Amino acid sequence: MHHATCPQLSVVVAVYNGAAFLEQFFQCLSAQSIDDMEVIMVNDGSTDNSVDIIHQWQPQFANMKIIDQANQGVSVARNTGLAEATGLYLSFPDIDDYFRPGMYRRMLDMAQTGNLDVVTCNGNYIWENNKKPSRPIFPKDKLQSTGVLTGAQWLKQALDSRKFLHVTWLNLYRHDFIRAHHFSFEPGLRHQDIPWTTEVLLAADRVQYTDEQFYDYYIHSASVSHMPDNDDTLIRSARHYMKILQMLDEINQRYPEKVQHIPACRWQIAKEGLGILHTFFNMKDPQKQRMIVQEFFDTGVWKLVWRNAHSLRLRWRLGRRYFRLRKILQSPA
């Protein structure tokens, strides 16, 4: 690939019914003041007027590609954009958040200076109508700016802080690194940033973190994660997480010598496993509950969770819940 003519940065954006957010999003992008920035807008089958807004903004960006596809979810949309990207570095922002002027400039400078595979910054949680005061995504007392680390060292620090959020939008990636490892996003999987970030960091040789807060992550009362749950959404969520645990376990097996030094790679499987159990216990319909608990055992995910619970405390918490699970399975049909 001939680098002389490549844009410095490709911004890959999945858009599904984003009309309410696109105006602010494009303003954030124009404020980045990076001259050779490639913007790849993947319209993932929007049914609102997102496409019109994107086309209105196109003249503002010298280098914008617009790709239309049938709705296939954020992972496939990101993969589509990734396949088209030509920049030296990549970013994957979410359209409904706010990122500050200077974010990408600062991160590009860090990436180029340190010859980094991945560069990460901090952000803020912002609650709608200021329901809670905003706070840093990574608390400053738990994670401070680093020098250049291996990805495994940073992953260990980040997971050990117990405050780490697996998200792509706080990161910039070196395109050749992503290409060399053939990384892509898992189609149709919610929270696929968890396995993506874990594997990217285990593979990366040079990573650096700045605790500067460039990104505001909005917590909307209307967002998917805050809708009232019913049994069917709980089952769907449990299945997504079961798949994530299987992926995390496969990742751990692909990088054994690194994971050996990062107990938290096993801890995150056990912790998310406890979350799945919580989901089961919140279900109302005993038949659906028994069905999904049976699946949890049949697919081997329970064994996986137990095998990865290395601390006595985790084993104790899982052991107590094991008896509740067996009880659910034994309840009369």
What is the chain's length?
Answer: 333
Burial (Cβ within 10 Å: 0-12, 13-18, ≥19) of residue 326: exposed
Residue 119 φ/ψ, nearest 5 degrees: -125, 140
Q: What pTM value is reported for the model?
A: 0.92
Q: Which residues contact 183 (CB under 8 A, 6 or more apart)?
A: 196, 199, 200, 203
Per-residue model confidence (pLDDT) at position 128: 81
Note the pLDDT tens digit of each residue in 231-244: 999 999 999 999 99
User: Could you tell me if 202 and 151 are in contact, meaning their C-beta atoms sit under 8 angstroms apart?
Assistant: yes
Per-residue model confidence (pLDDT) at position 216: 93
The whole-angstrom separation of Cα 109 and Cα 141 is: 25
pLDDT confidence bin for 143, thresholds 50/70/90: very high
Per-residue model confidence (pLDDT) at position 220: 74
pLDDT beyond 60 at 109: yes
Residue 98 pairs with which residues in a beta bridge?
216
Report the top-level CATH class of 3-224. Answer: alpha beta
Burial (Cβ within 10 Å: 0-12, 13-18, ≥19) of residue 85: buried
Note the pLDDT tens digit of each residue in 149-161: 999 999 999 999 9
Average pLDDT for 312-325: 94
Q: Which residues contact 67 (CB under 8 A, 6 or more apart)?
A: 40, 41, 42, 43, 80, 81, 84
Note the pLDDT tens digit of each residue in 41-67: 999 999 999 999 999 999 999 899 999
Per-residue model confidence (pLDDT) at position 256: 96
b (16+ CB within 10 A) / e for 289-309: bbebbeebeeeebbebbbebb
User: Could you tell me if 107 and 169 are in contact, meaning their C-beta atoms sit under 8 angstroms apart?
Assistant: no
Domain ranges, ordered by start, for the chain = 3-224, 229-330
Note the pLDDT tens digit of each residue in 240-289: 999 999 999 999 999 999 999 999 999 999 999 999 999 999 999 999 99
Average pLDDT for 168-195: 95
Average pLDDT for 16-43: 95
Residue 15 φ/ψ, nearest 5 degrees: -125, 120
pLDDT confidence bin for 4, thresholds 50/70/90: low
